[in-house]
Structure 1
Amino acid sequence: MIDHSLLRPELTREEVLAGLATARAYGAATVCVRPADVGLAVAELRGSGVAVGTVVGFPHGGATTATKVGETAELVAAGAAEIDMVIDIGRLRDGDAGHVEEQIAAVVAAAGGRPVKVILENWYLSDEQKVAGCAASERAGAAYVKTSTGFAGGGATAADVALMRHSVSPAVGVKAAGGVRTLDALLTLRELGATRFGATTTAAMLDDLAMRLASRREWAHRSGMEKRPPAGRR
C-alpha cells in the first residue's frame, strides 16, 4: 500500500539509489521518483516486483495540458508504470472543473492504461472544491485521487481522506500523501478509506509493524501456553 517517495529536489544519485534499495527490501507497492530518475529506477528495480511511479506537473500543477501530456508520454516510454499528476489548482479554485477534467482525461489517455493518481493539493482548496476535484477526476478516468504533493503548507488529514473517500465510487482509490510518517497515522487513514500512501519513512513504519506483529505472536503463544492444563490433567 506504500509508494516510497523519492521526490525531494536535493536528492543525490546515491541517495536515490539508497531509496530504491529500501523500496526493494521492504516490498513497497511502488517507488515514486522524480521524472529524471525514472530510467535509473526502472533499471535498478527490474524483476523486484516494485513498480516505478513518477510525477507530472509537479509540484505546482500550473503547466499547460500539452506539457503535461508530453511529459506523461515521455515518462511512460521511459518505463513509468504509474503517474501522479497535479491538477491546475488555480483553475479548480476558479470553479472551472471542466478544464480540470479535460486536462486529467488527456493525461489518462497519454498514460495508455497505466494508473493515474490525481493530486488535488487540498491545502489550497475548500471542501466544495475538493469534492468537485474528486468528481472531475473520476469522470476523467483517474485510478486514484490524492491529497497532496507534500510540498504545500499541509498534507493528508483524516477529514480530507474521509471526504475524498465519500466523494468517489469504490472504483477509485484514495492516496494519502504528505505527513504520513508513522504507522499509527497510516492505519488511521486506512480505516478512513485510504488505499495507497505516499511516504518517505517506509522503513521505520514497516519495522514498527514487524515489531508489533512479533509481539502479538509472542503474546498469543504465551497466552496459549498459560491456558494449557498441567500434563497430568490432559
Structure 2
Amino acid sequence: MQEFTYEDVAGMIDHALLHPTLTEKELFKGCQLADCYETATVCVKPSDVKQAAQLLNGSKTKICTVIGFPHGVNLTEIKVLETQRACEDGASEVDMVLNTGRAISGDWKYIEDDILAVCEKTHSSNAKLKVIFENDFLAKGGAGLDGNDLKKKLCQICENAGADWVKTSTGFGYARQADGSFSSLGATEEDVKLMVNACQNGTQVKAAGAVRDLSTLLRMREIGATRIGTSSTQSILNECKESLGLPYLSQAAEASSATY
C-alpha cells in the first residue's frame, strides 16, 4: 500500500470552482474550504480571480484560473490578454485550453504558437502554465495520427514550449457517442500513463475530471500525476484524514455545488 501524508494529498488538489452557475456565496464558501483544507490552489473563473485573491490573501492556497475555457477557441491574442489580466489580478497558475480543432487538423504551427505565446506571458508574470488537452475530443485521433499518438505529439509541443503541466480535461468536454448521447470520461489511467511517459523533460501531468474519491486520487498519484482537479475536495480530504486517523476540521466550509 502506498504511503502518503495529508499534506501529500492536499498539496495535489486544485479545488475547482468553475461551474457556470456558481454564485458569489458559493465562491466564498469554496475559497474558505480550500483555505481550511490547505489545497494547492483554488481554480476559479477569470471573473472571480481578483475576489478569490482578496479572500485568500495570506493563505497557503494559491489562485489558479482558466484561459480560453472551456473550448480553447479564443484567438491567441485574447488568451494572452486573459493571462496578463489574470496574473495582475492575483493568479499564480493558469490552465489554458488548447485549440482542439486545430490539433485534430494537424495545424501544428498554430498550436505551437498559441501555447508558446501564453507560456511566455505566464512565465514573465512569475506564474505557471498548465495546458488542457480535452482528451475525450482527441480519442479518435486526427492529422493522420491515432488518438494516443496525437496526445503524445501535443505533450511534445507543450514540453518544447516550456509548459509546467499538461492536463487531461476541462471537466466540461462532452463527446458525442455512437448512440447520439454525450458523455465525458475525464481523466483515465490510460491517458495519465501515456502523458506521463510522453513528458520526459520536466513537464508534469494534471488529472482532471472524474477524480472524486481518495482511491482514484492515489491511483493517479501512483502512475505519475502530480496535480488533481476536482470539486470533491471535502469528501476526498475527509476520507484522507479518516484513513490517517486525523480529526476532521470542525469549522470547514461547505463543499461548493459545482460538479466538476
Q: Would you say same fold, with TM above 0.5?
A: yes
Distance 1:57 1:94, change over 3 A: same
Q: CA deviation at 1:99?
A: 1.5
Aligned match of 1:210: 241
Aligned match of 1:18: 29
Give the percent of matched residue pairs that are identical in Structure 1 and Structure 2.
45
Mapped partners of 1:99, 1:115: distance in 2? 21
Q: CA deviation at 1:98?
A: 2.5
Mapped partners of 2:112, 2:44: distance in 1? 25
Aligned match of 2:64: 53
Check whether the contact 2:207–2:229 (CA below 8 A) recurs between aligned residues. Answer: yes
Structure 2 gap ranges (5+): 1-11, 139-146, 175-183, 247-260
Aligned amino acid, residue 124 of structure 1: F
Mapped partners of 1:131, 1:56: distance in 2? 22
Q: CA deviation at 1:124?
A: 0.8
User: 2:161 aligned with 1:133, yes or no?
Assistant: no
RMSD: 1.0
User: 2:134 aligned with 1:121, yes or no?
Assistant: yes
Q: Describe how 1:82-231 pairs up with structure 2 within 5 A.
A: 82-111=93-122, 112=124, 113-125=126-138, 126-153=147-174, 154=184, 155-169=186-200, 171-214=202-245
Deviating 4+ runs (over 6 angstroms): none
Aligned amino acid, residue 169 of structure 1: Q
Bigger Rg over Cα = 1
TM-score normalised over the length of structure 1: 0.90
Aligned residues: 215
TM-score normalised over the length of structure 2: 0.81
Check whether the contact 2:159–2:201 (CA below 8 A) recurs between aligned residues. Answer: no
Structure 1 gap ranges (5+): 216-234
Check whether the contact 1:98–1:136 (CA below 8 A) recurs between aligned residues. Answer: no
Check whether the contact 1:97–1:132 (CA below 8 A) recurs between aligned residues. Answer: no
Q: CA deviation at 1:170?
A: 5.0
Q: When you count helix as a share of all residues, which structure comes out higher?
A: 1
Mapped partners of 2:137, 2:153: distance in 1? 13
User: 2:73 aligned with 1:42, yes or no?
Assistant: no
